[in-house]
Chains A and B, each alone.
Chain A
Amino acid sequence: MIELKNVSKKYGETIAVNQVSFEVKEKENLVLLGTSGCGKTTTLKMINRLINPDEGEIILNGQNIINQNTEILRKGIGYVMQNIGLFPHYTVEENIAIVPKLLKWDKKKIQDRVYELTEKLHLPTNSLKLFPNELSGGQQQRVGLARALVSDPAVLLMDEPFGALDNVTRTSIRKEFKDLEELKRKTMVMVTHDVEEAFELADRICLMDKGNIMQIGTPKELLFNPANDFAKTFLDGQRLALEFKIVTIEDIWEMLPNAMHTTKSLSANVSVWDAMEKLRSTQATELQFSNKTQQYKSASFDELIKAFNQYKNFTKHE
Chain B
Amino acid sequence: MTEFTERLLTSPRKDANDRFRLIWLIIIPLIAILFQVYVPRFLSFLSYLELPLLITVHYALASRGPIAAVFYGMSIGLVQDSLSHQPIGMFGIVKTLVGYFAASVSMRFDVENPLVTFILSFFFYFFHQFFYWVLQRALLGDTLLFDFQQTLLFGLLNAAVALPLFRILDKLKVAG
A binds B: no
Binding site for B on A (CB under 8 A): none
Residues of B within 8 A of A (CB): none
